Amino acid sequence: MTRRQKFIFVTGGVVSSLGKGLASASIGALLESRGLTVAPAKLDPYINVDPGTMNPFQHGEVFVTDDGTETDLDLGHYERFTNAVGSKKSNFTTGQVYDAVISRERRGGYLGGTVQVIPHITDEIKKRILNVDDTIDVVIVEIGGTVGDIESLPFLEAIRQLRNDLGKENSLFIHLTLVPFIKTADEMKTKPTQHSVRELREIGIQPDILLCRTERLLSSDLKDKIALFCNVDKDAVITAKDVDTIYEVPLLYHREGLDEKITKLLNIWARKPDLFKWEEIVDTIRNPKKEVDIAIVGKYVKLKDSYKSLNEALTHGGIANNARVNIRYVDSEDLEKGVEPPFDGIDGILVPGGFGDRGIEGKIRAIQYAREKKIPFFGLCLGMQLAVVEIARHLAGLQDAHSTEFNEGTASPVIYLIEEWIDRENKHQKRDRFSDKGATMRLGAYPCKLKTGSIAHKSYNTDMVHERHRHRYEFNMAFRKQLEACGMVVTGISPDEQFVEIIELKDHPWFLACQFHPEFKSKPFSPHALFREFIKAALKPKQEKQRCRNK
Ligand code: GLN
């Protein structure tokens, strides 16, 4: 096969959660800083067709791309760290691979043959990897899971074969591993790394580069030892030391010589990297001039990965204002117990997206608190739906107002299920409460018209935006007039005026809620306008207090 495109395959060993996604995204950032173009591919060995139906507690956030694919949260890292744009080609699972092979078998595509993992499943995996995007220089392919898992074997076999198909100069194996520090022995241990590499070699993969997650820098002796036992060059043993901001990872890898080694092994001629913007951003994060405290009121607060993009978008909003954003997670179920809301010293309240009825009343209580105490409020997706419920109940006097997701028989269904609609591909969609749950939401980027003079319009500084959606329920237009008469303003709407996308509140310093998920489009180098303005509004009272004190 002759192909000029290069492929980097990233695997993980020893334990999960070492940050393969971040490592891959950082590799992408380094290659981009050398003038190359990159595209991500995340291969997930689980059997679900996509992560759309998975509980965030198990799998963290579901990241949504412009084209409406529900993907692994690692795609979010790639979009934040590089210019790559995720799509349905960038993430696939065992479920999708088997689905394709079995459908082909039913159509008679393998007539007369026995369908097997090798070569049929592995061929399908290879085809999908090669199909990611042939216009760009380097595809970074990350295999989910940990080496040794039964599920990931076909994926590892596929990339083993691809190395032969593509040639050594066009493909590279990078293995992320752990070098733990054992306190009692006062020593760093290389044995888990040796075992993990041995496991890879048993299935025919010899890693070219090892990224070693550690608490401390690896000494030269330790690098010698790892190189010897794992059969890699010494300068291919990279210390991936823990850092306090993820935006430092590309800088750290560069200092360790990672991009130099990658370009050498792949025989790529590329200029020296320009990492100035990364240095600048790390400096802003480390030495902010201001500080702000934001409460996130949700039910997935115990697993930070559930709000990955949201946390990052808040950090970006902070960067834009030269401020550190301290996040206080508030469990919405606790707020239902009638205790005083724990919003002491809080400068802004945010209610994020979510599903299911646990903690709903607690979130409504938090919104009421923000509205009445005039604390800046930002509602995202479910957060907007509940803001509408709160306004309907407490300003419009519709006492049993609710979303039909949580109260099907409510007399005031201010949020409801639209059963027929046209999707972003102009397809007519039909659904009801009993429809399949997988991929049946309003998904992906949709246009939204902004009302002149509104907070939204001033923030974005444009008349039309495209934002990503992931929800089933919508604002019920039948209540628009009644709610607008109480101070609510619709400031973002779909061009056909069927869907309300943003609401604001009069007589409040900053109260904005949107049906879409702006957090998916925020980047460190271009913070999302709404996050930037929310943080600015949250900072205001603090700065005024400071000014009074200084007088
Ligand atoms: N559960 C709500 C819906 O499906 C909101 C979803 C969300 O917040 N992403 O419409």
Domains delineated in the chain: 6-280 (3.40.50.300), 288-416+476-489+502-546 (3.40.50.880)
pLDDT of residue 116: 95
pLDDT of residue 299: 82
- 150 assigned to a ligand binding site: yes
Query: Which helix (H) or strand (E) covers residue 490, if one does?
Result: strand 488-493
State both tokens at 516. Answer: 């879409």
pLDDT in tens, 465-507: 999 999 999 999 999 999 999 999 999 999 999 999 999 999 9
Q: Is 517 considered catalytic here? A: yes
Q: Is 199 considered catalytic here? A: no
- 192 assigned to a ligand binding site: yes
Q: Which ligand 1 atom lies nearest to the CA of residue 405? A: 1
Q: Reduce the secondary structure of 279-336 to three states and give it as a string.
A: HHHHHHHHCCCEEEEEEEEECCCCCHHHHHHHHHHHHHHHHHCCEEEEEEEEEHHHHC
List of residues 6+ apart from 198 with CB closer than 8 A? none
- 151 assigned to a ligand binding site: yes
* Ligand 1 in reach of 406 Cβ (< 6 A): no
pTM of the predicted structure, to 2 decimals:
0.93
Mean pLDDT across the chain: 92
Instruction: Answer yes or no: is pLDDT of 437 > 80.
Output: no
Single out the catalytic residue among 32, 77, 79, 381: 381
Share of the chain above pLDDT 90, in %: 79
- 188 assigned to a ligand binding site: no
d(CA 425, CA 14): 43
Tell me the CA–centroid distance for residue 387 and ligand 1, in Å: 13
CA 228 to chain centre: 37
**Which protein residue has the closest C-alpha to ligand 1 atom 5?**
382
Q: Which ligand 1 atom lies nearest to the CA of residue 352? A: 8
List of residues 6+ apart from 151 with CB closer than 8 A? 45, 46, 47, 94, 145
- E strand spans, 338-487: 348-351, 377-380, 402-403, 413-417, 420-422, 428-430, 442-450, 464-471, 473-475
* Ligand 1 in reach of 56 Cβ (< 6 A): no
Helix (H, G, I), strand (E, B) or coil at 58: helix
Q: Which ligand 1 atom lies nearest to the CA of residue 383? A: 8
Query: What does the pLDDT average to over 448-454?
Result: 97
pLDDT in tens, 303-359: 777 889 999 999 999 999 999 999 999 999 888 887 778 899 999 999 999 988 889
